[in-house]
Structure 1
């Protein structure tokens, strides 16, 4: 289930980029960040719904 972890990390980093681009008033970065959040956020949600949360192997 490493895919869920990678997707969620990319989504979180994109959210940080969106906030940063809002502070700097960078419209192009805001558009790309929102697109990334939308796509990877959707993949994260759908992967969790389809496969469940990652389980611990310990």
Structure 2
């Protein structure tokens, strides 16, 4: 279940990268951040749908 947490954190960091790249008008940074956001965001959503939300105890 740690996978969904890691994917979620990467997705949030990619969103931050998109905002920061837009402010700096960095086209290559925007492209890479959008790609990362799309891929890891999709993995996050699909992992949550398939395995559910992570729980604190096993």
Q: TM-score, normalised by structure 1?
A: 0.97
Structure 2's unaligned 5+ residue stretches are none
Runs of 4+ that moved beyond 2 A: none
SS at the partner of 1:42?
Answer: helix
Structure 1's unaligned 5+ residue stretches are none
Deviation per CA, 1:2-43, whole angstroms, max 9, x where unpaired? 000000000000000000000000000000000000000000
Q: TM-score, normalised by structure 2?
A: 0.97
Please name the residue that 1:10 is paired with.
10
Q: CA RMSD for the aligned pairs?
A: 1.1
How many pairs were matched up? 58
